[in-house]
Structure 1
Amino acid sequence: MGVLQDANRKQIAGRRRLDFALHLLFVAATSVGVVVLMALLVDILIDGASRLQPDLFNQYPSRRASQAGMKSAIVGSLYMLVIMAPLSFVLGVGAAIYLEEYAPKNRLTRLIQLNISTLAGVPSIVYGILGLAIFVRAMQLDRSLLAGALTMTLLVLPIIIVSSQEAIRAVPRSRREASFALGANKWQTVARAVLPSAFPGILTGVILAMSRAIGETAPLVMIGAMTYVAFLPNDLLDSFTVMPIQIYNWIARPQAEFRELAAAGIVVLLAVLLLMNFAAILLRNKYNKKV
């Protein structure tokens, strides 16, 4: 008995040492990422703090750094989100509902599901090429705001579909069975039992997908979004620019003043992304309480 107890103590002590070592490793890995991110943020804030003034939001881009702003880029990004968000939500959530609740579980469905999951990891520039071929050339939308919004909708659709499917799949089967037991049909069960429970996860996935879209540059460069726009779009077929492209344009210039403007633009873009992520958390918590 004494030998067995000693062996058990040694085993427990070895597991505790391993647990402590792994804990230190994970903390170190997390700390590296946080420290690098904080260093990057501090460096950007130092470079761009002097340019975070009202003129940055009120002025249009200019070849003179002292007169340059990003008004058209901010408004262009917001316009694109306004067009893209409802399209992505309706198409993405609708596809997820069909695949999870209505589609037969056969080989074709599995193939579609595999393709959607694969598309979620495709590089964004591929969607830019697709948008160039379909929206700019085939549909003759040119370098318009509508072409950009449709291209970005293609980019985020697989992400929204996958995240919405996961949220719907997480709803307990007992809720569906209880709804059917009360006499509800399929759509009533989906609309009144499944979607309210899955909505926090769906909404979070949609907002995070929008956050990714607002920071993308490659697809919009491919469809020919302008790097210098000194006006606001008046309709869906006007030329446009967005914040990442404007920041890229400033960074590409050799003058130090434009690099300061780029740093200020990065701060604004990060602030928008953080606000969107914060909104996702608030909405998720709000609807979780209701459910």
Structure 2
Amino acid sequence: MSINDILMLMLCGSISGFMAGLLGIGGGMILVPFMILVFNHLGFNQHVIVHMAIATGMATILFTTTSAILAHHKHGSIDWKLVASLSPGMVLGGLFGGSEIFEAINTSWLSLGFAIFIVYTSIQMIINKKPTAGRDLPGPVGLFSFGAFAGVLASLVGAGGAFITVPFMLWCNVKPHTAMASSSGLGFPIAAAATVGYMYGSWGNPNLPEGSLGFIYIPAVLCIVVVSVFTAPFGARMARKLNVGQLKRIFGIMLFLLAAFMFNESRKAFGY
């Protein structure tokens, strides 16, 4: 990689780490479009670029969430009993989605699906609408089933799962700050399971470049993680001081621009 590629990945890593700590998101939404630019510059095979960008972004969540978890745990913000109840289903769903479904999806459809996911997330952030609390948490079977569904969905879009776990927890009367903090705790098992699934499902793929473990491009992971682990705790501290609602709106607008890039990638993949 050139120095420009490294600097771009490190800049994105610093932003994604901060957002992971601040908003409980994994950062893949920021990383994927920029990794696609870097991977195109490196001349990677077009059939695997989007898959590699999403999978590599998910692999970095292992480190950013660990750093954010430690910061939130110091303040006693994470509901570990809830995390333990949801994690088994998420691990199973992440493994299945990452190994059985992810590679089978065509690059063009994967690009389109990721773009739609970004648009959905950006709208939620801009309007900052919280679901009305309507019930208590379900029993073990219900939590396992929801966890499995969330794990599959998160593995397909390379996200830590906060986009679906936070609204679910709020709907079930979990306090907002606890829901945001607990989503960091849930991000680790999803990321671990999906990362294993990505590597297993793509092992031996002839289109993968040197330096990759399945769809995971190790040099990019290192560039991102070396800075994100330091900015995630800073984001967690800022979550208690800043107007998170306003920051969400600003971030949502930025995501719209990234979505436009992903729609263009999808268009090119479809041949239009």
Q: Which has the higher contact order (CA 8 A, sep 6+)?
A: 2
TM-score after normalising by structure 1: 0.26
TM-score after normalising by structure 2: 0.28
Larger Rg, first or second structure (1 or 2): 1
